Amino acid sequence: MNTKNINISVNGITRNISNTNELLGELNGVNGVKTGFTGEAGRCLVTSCTRNGNQIITVVLGADTKKQRTSDSVKLIEYAFKNYERVNIEEIVKKEFESWKQINSKRIYINKAKINENYNCNNGIELELTEIQNKIIPLKLGEKEKIRVQINAIYEYEAPVQKNARIGTLIVKCGEEIIENIEIVNKYDIKKNDIISYMLEFIKLLGTGLNSLAQI
């Protein structure tokens, strides 16, 4: 669909076939897709265009002439590339989440939590985000400045807390429109403290106290 001309051989006779997409080879980045015509639909053109890694598809229906459908397609393509940009939402989300996590993860308290060898549950919880669905989105120029990240979380829990339990939500807005809603979850299973763990903690604290007395 992006080949402008090709020579084919039929019964030993070479023929040149031309693509009916009049924008191929004429407009920067155009690489397809399809022309069409019916009495009711008129002249139609679906165009794919890629520039600097950004791809758009335009659709023109009901044109009276090929010249009109070409002109309208060019206007749509140039307008899109001139007025829109791709915004990396994933990058914004991860940056905001890491900043929030540095301050707030240690504020989340798990009552009766068993000490985990990876981290101390009583001094914080290991958090992560579920998958970001819209990693990169197109926005009109200037709308990137309207993007805001809102994070909500519950700060007190009772052990046990299962792995991937929902701890909060991260909402990405552009103005008043929600463009992404991501869950904040617990990365590890947090078990409830048992009598043995309490005894070990008591012995540890007792040993620390005796060492302090000995130093005095």
Q: Three-class SS string for 140-198?
A: ECCHHHHEEEEEEECCEEECCECCCCEEEEEEEEECCEEEEEEEEEECCCECECCHHHH
Pairing of strands 156-158, 109-111: parallel
pTM, 2 dp: 0.74
- Count CB atoms within 10 A of the CB of residue 101: 19
* Tens digit of pLDDT at every position of the chain (216 positions): 889 999 999 999 999 999 999 999 999 999 999 999 999 999 999 999 999 989 999 999 999 999 999 999 999 999 999 999 999 999 999 999 999 999 998 888 888 887 665 555 544 588 999 999 999 999 999 999 999 999 999 999 888 889 999 999 999 999 999 999 999 999 988 888 776 665 666 666 666 655 654 555
- Count CB atoms within 10 A of the CB of residue 132: 17
Q: Which domains does the chain have, with CATH numbers?
A: 5-64 (no CATH), 87-215 (2.60.410.10)
Q: In the 8-state DSSP scheme, what is residue 118? A: S
Rounded distance between C-alpha atoms, residue 141 and residue 11, angstroms = 55
Bridge partners (DSSP) of residue 34 are 46
